[in-house]
Structure 1
Amino acid sequence: MTSLQATKDFFFNRTAIGRQRLGSDDNKVEGNYHSDVSDTSRDNLEGAFSSLDKIKKPGWVRRIIEYGRRRKTTFADWSSAQPRSVWASVILAVLATVVILVLTVLLIYFNIHLRRQIPRNDIQRIVASWGAPGSLTQAEEHYSTDFSRDIIPIPCHSHNDYWRKVPLYDALAAGCTGVEADVWLTNNDLLVGHSTGSLTSARSLTSLYIDPLISILAHQNPPLTFQNTTTSTPQSNSTTNSASLNGVFEINPATSLTLLIDVKSNGTSTFPVILQQLEPLRSRGYLTYFDGSAVIPGPITVVGSGNTPFDLLISNTTYRDIFFDAPLDQLWGENAPSNASLYTSENSYYASVNFASAIGKPWHGSLEPQQVDTILGQSGAAAAKGLKARYWNTPAWPVGVRDHIWDVLEKEGVGMLNVDDLTSASQRNWGG
């Protein structure tokens, strides 16, 4: 029996029972109720139920929609009925997964990073342990024979390397063949710093450069090398065969390290003090010098820049071991002064200029043909005089522009690349 049929029987039975309770039949009237009213109601009720039988069932699209609504309601009812601890567990599981992934990535990164920091030679060990309690830094008495093993010297000048954590050693570890010190004459001593506000008595030309270089070169050259030699004074010729001494770099011992001394204080009063403080290097035959007729190369080549007085530098015509940093922009071009011929390899070593003022900005991220021609002309003029062209204040950012300028400078024959980012410079393909 269907639910509809059961409902019909229910109403029919209630109607019959009602008539019996009123004591009525088909021909009598009890009170205000007539027998024909009950019959009519029964007929209407049967008609209503007949119309319900004719209602069409919903189509399949409607059924799918209704099913989806019931499912949504069911899930909402279930989720609202779940205790908060279930959701807390889900959130904690997601967070734990994220933390594990982050820690894994950091572990991989630091593993690779730390492997790169493992020292491979003495210079890198000095840099890694600099300032550590009990470490032997520049005061170390003995270096092993592989002091600069695996370090390839490259023609880059470490600009203001005294700013780095370990002056001189950071530049040497990168393979730079040129280092730089800005000096100020203070209380008859040469203090190193970019400005007077950064000067301290502990950071002097002697402590940061001269003493470490003596220590390095002393252990690069066994005592046997110095037999049958004599020392010299600034005014006399050295009989030490400095060309036969080993330089800083083990791979190429003949490479001379350029020590650029940028004089910031008065040049006339500072220059004699520089000559005096170079005596320990001079007396050991470590300096490149001019003997009156030729330049004798040595492990260290000193170049005076900034306020270095050119007239004092060339005053001694028979011996000099400080060379000039010539003005590169005055060696080439229609407006080159007539005294450009003064700068030769006998009195100068570098020929430098501010890149921004001499070449200009690299518009649109690259140099214009006219700018490249200027670089070619200036570097070619320097090379013709036996000098190494050097541009300082080259753009350091964006990195793509910096690398583009470096490529142009190398291609056009610049003798020394002035750099601040030692790591990027050491990773370049200098042999390509």
Structure 2
Amino acid sequence: MLPYLRTLVAAGAAALLLSAPQTAAAAGAELGQPLPRAHAHNDYEHDRPLLDALEHGFTSVEADVWLVDGELRVAHDSWELDGAPTLEEAYLDPLAELVSPNGKQLYPGHDGGLQLLIDLKSEGPATWAAVERELAERRKFITRHRDGRVTERAVEVVISGNRPLADMQAAELRYSSYDGRSTDLDSGLDPSFMPLVSENWTRLFTWQGVGEMPEVERERLHAYVERAHAQGYRVRFWATNDIAGPARENLWTELRASGVDHINTDDLAGLQEFLAGSAG
């Protein structure tokens, strides 16, 4: 090979290696057995965002997103933004490598997809618009909504946090849906627009897993879940006890028994063990 060609080839190979470290990591990921109820709260704080959750079989992951100088950065607090990965680097790029060629499946042989819950931390309308632009570039594997028609793909994006309700309702084409709150029950919002209702557990309940759940709270929980399901909405709570031990297992047992759709945790291995041992 001529010297200048050898230099060009070497430079090109180096550029490829530098441009796609996350792609290489995604390609080596070993997906676990999918667990329909498993939700990774603040997923980006794990050593390998997204990938650790998928290897534990999680079917829902949560990312806090800030719009900074035109880029979507993933971090919990504003002081963590320097050096924080972008939404593309942490989630969209690896998902592009992991989904099936037709964009319709993530876990092989599993009918359900992945819920990507994006919590908008910066100003709602501008941040949501930036998220939509990036999702549109990945339309092959992102569920989309056009004039009331839904085209399902491997990844369903739901917007939480600073949700721009009016902007989302006005959009003729969306690549994301709305995360409701308990006050949105009986609102009449279509489940294709608001598929999920999330709420702070402590806003509705006092029990955190110690001892028996008070019967009045158990009845309230079951009634709440049944009410949401009757309207076509999935249910998730945050601020549940996530400290490993009997109390947490008691709480998870009640959440599962009531039909809560997404059980929130930072402990991937702990929830995987619990759900796998109880048939999910």
User: Which TM-score applies when normalising by structure 1?
Assistant: 0.56
In the alignment, structure 1 residue 176 sits paired with structure 2 residue 58: yes
Displacement of 1:421: 1.0
Q: Which residue of 2 aligns with 1:359?
A: 205
Distance in 2, matches of 1:183 and 1:260, equals 10
Q: Which moved further from structure 2: 357-366 or 256-265?
A: 357-366
Q: Quote how far apart the aligned CAs of 1:255 are.
A: 1.8
Is contact 1:152-1:249 (8 Å) kept?
yes
Match of 1:191 in 2: 73
Show the counterpart of 1:205: 87
The equivalences for 1:294-333 within 5 A come to: 294-316=149-171, 318-331=172-185
- CA distances 1:343-395 after superposition (whole Å, capped 9, x unpaired): 32121121000011221233753321111122112211221121110011101
- Which has a greater percent of helix? 1
Deviations 1:139-163 (A, max 9, x none): 229948xx64653333211000100
Question: How far apart in 2 are the matches of 1:259 and 1:365?
Answer: 34
Shift of the 368–329 alpha-carbon distance from structure 1 to 2, 3 Å rule, reads: farther
Q: Would the aligned equivalents of 1:362 and 1:368 in 2 still touch at CA under 8 Å?
A: no
Structure ranking higher on relative contact order (CA contacts 8 Å, 6+ apart): 2
Q: Which amino acid aligns with 1:325?
A: D
CA distance in 2, matches of 1:353, 1:142: 32
1:314 is paired with a residue whose SS is helix
Give the conservation status (yes or no) of the 8 Å contact 1:261–1:304: yes
Kindly tell me: are residues 366 and 216 of structure 1, through their superposed partners in 2, closer, same or farther at Cα, counting changes over 3 Å?
same
CA drift at 1:137? 5.0
Q: After TM superposition, list the pairs within 5 Å mapping 1:30-45 onto structure 2.
A: none
- Inter-CA distance 143–364: structure 2 relative to 1 (3 Å threshold): closer
Given that residues 396 and 402 in structure 1 are in contact (C-alpha distance below 8 angstroms), is that contact kept between their aligned partners in structure 2?
Answer: yes
Contact 1:287 1:300 in 2 (8 A): yes
Aligned pair count reads: 261
Equivalent AA in structure 1 for residue 152 of structure 2: P
Instruction: Report if aligned partners of 1:153, 1:249 keep a CA contact under 8 Å in 2.
Output: no
Q: SS of 2:24's equivalent? A: coil
Instruction: Spell out, residue by residue over 1:317-354, the C-alpha distance to the aligned partner (whole angstroms, 9 max, x if none).
Output: x43221010103542xxxxxxxx324321211210000
Q: Structure 1's 329 and 370: CA in aligned 2 closer, same or farther, altered over 3 A?
A: farther
Is 1:372 aligned with 2:218? yes
User: What's the secondary structure of 2:235's corresponding residue?
Assistant: strand
Residue 257 of structure 2 is matched in structure 1 by 411
Counterpart of 2:240?
394
In 2, Cα distance between equivalents of 1:420 and 1:184: 21
For 2:26 and 2:250, the matched residues in 1 are separated by 42
Aligned to 2:9: none
Q: Distance in 1 between matches of 2:66 and 2:148?
A: 32
> Which structure: larger Rg?
1
8 Å contact 2:132–2:174 — kept in the other structure?
A: no
Partner of 1:385: 231
The answer to whether residue 24 in structure 2 is matched with residue 140 in structure 1 is: yes
Sort the Cα spacing of 1:342 and 1:312 in 2 relative to 1 into closer, same or farther, 3 A: farther
Q: Alignment partner for residue 267 of structure 1, among 97, 103, 124?
A: 124
Give 2:107's aligned residue.
Answer: 249
Assess if the C-alpha contact under 8 Å between 1:150 and 1:251 holds in 2: no
Question: Please, which runs of 5 or more residues in structure 2 have no aligned partner?
Answer: 1-17
Q: Which has the higher strand share?
A: 2
Listed as ranges, the gaps of 5+ residues in structure 1 are 1-133, 226-244, 332-339
Check conservation: 2:210, 2:247, Cα contact below 8 A.
Answer: no
Distance change (3 Å), C-alpha of 1:392 and 1:141: closer
Matches within 5 A, 1:95-174: 138-140=22-24, 143=27, 148=30, 151-174=33-56
Could you say what secondary structure the match of 2:195 adopts?
Answer: strand
> Distance in 1 between the 2:25 and 2:40 partners?
26
Per the alignment, do residues 142 and 344 of structure 1 end up closer, same or farther by CA in structure 2, a change over 3 Å counting? closer
Task: Give the counterpart letter for 2:204 in structure 1.
Answer: A
- % identical equivalent positions: 28
Are the structure 2 counterparts of residues 330 and 139 from structure 1 closer, same or farther at C-alpha, using a change threshold of 3 Å?
Answer: closer
RMSD: 2.4
Q: Is the 8 A contact 1:326 1:350 kept in 2?
A: yes
1:268 deviates by 2.0
Amino acid at match of 1:328: S
